[in-house]
Amino acid sequence: MEYRPLGRTGVQVSQFCLGTMMFGGKADEAESLRIVDHALDRGVNFIDTANVYAGNESERIVGKALARDGRRDKVVLATKAFMPQGDGINDRGPSRRHIVTACEDSLQRLQTDHIDLYQMHRSSADVPVDETLRALDDLIRAGKVRYIGSSMFPGWQIVEALWVSRELGLNRFVCEQSAYHMLDRTAEREVIPAARSFGLAVIPWGPLCGGLLSGKYHRDGGPSGARWQDGRDNFGRSATPLAWDVIDLVRELAAGKGCTPSQLALAWCAGQPGVTAPIVGPRTLEQITDNLGAVDVTLTADDLARIDALNPPCGVAVRYYDAANRLDLRPHLHRSLV
């Protein structure tokens, strides 16, 4: 396992981050604990969750997993806030009121007195960013949070947040968690360049495009009950003809290297300029075992050139990033992409 700096901080994190969105949902508690144990045994020291995952259950299970045998001190623990935590109009968003309350609740569920990395799950045009940053800065000064980051912030909002932090003398974001994989390279247009320019770590989520790059799907279908059915996932995102061409190439390259398609796709993501640690989100022990095998996969310059020839830098074969950020493009532009 390779370790990389978390942006401009002195913290070192493993080249893959264990994502826990499945914990408490498709992965029950027992399986989730086995996944954590295996990841830590393989050298993973970076775990990411969010208060919204499985209705708070993911945080609770992660807290239980790390409360055993002093494991909490060995892990860089990240969580996120922003999404609704109740029916009240103020139980969501990046306001001071919600952030402080959400942090206290997460600390209890995680059974810890501090969060290593606290991230805003989304940006908002409804709350001034200085209010959000002041609240996060106060949490750092109170010792409840060590570092702060963003998730799915457009490039301009990353720069705005950094500028406001500098102007007001506040702690700054150290990382950006963005949707990024071989089939949607939108983040390469502005987000990753902004992060590289200002020293932010990039922590891609969805590096397997919701499992589409795992190799278990084909043009004519996939496993019954799986996320992608009839060329669409459970969020309505479409697998285009170009996406299937890329997936065919991934299978071919993986077969030549004796690895799985998912391992090759993860190795590609982890090796892209500016990327710190892609987040793998396993549902089973078998999946985390497979995913972490990506540390042994090396892509050659010829491999990378063949991938770029199909879906070039900044290219889009699946509209994943925009859909995740709820960006409604004009109908004619939507048709040209799908």
Q: Report the catalytic residues.
A: 53
- Cβ-based neighbours of 35, under 8 Å, separated by 6 or more: 18, 23, 27, 282, 284, 285, 288
DSSP notation for 189-219: TTHHHHHHHHT-EE--B-TTTTTGGGS--BT
Instruction: Give the whole-angstrom CA distance, residue 326 versus residue 335.
Output: 17
DSSP 181: B
Q: Rounded CA gap, 275 and 271, in Å? A: 7
By C-alpha distance, which of 219, 218, 244, 246 is closest to 308?
246
Nearest to 51 by CA among 98, 94, 85: 85
Nearest one of 200, 234, 230 to 217, comparing CA atoms: 230
Rg of the chain over all Cα atoms, to the nearest angstrom: 19
List beta partners, residue 279.
Answer: 17
Q: Shortest CA distance to 114 belongs to which of 67, 81, 74, 78?
A: 78
Which residue in the block uniquely carries the two structure tokens 């892990």? 75
Spatial distance between the Cα atoms of 86 and 252, rounded to a whole number of angstroms: 47
Distance separating alpha carbons of residues 292 and 210, to the nearest angstrom = 17
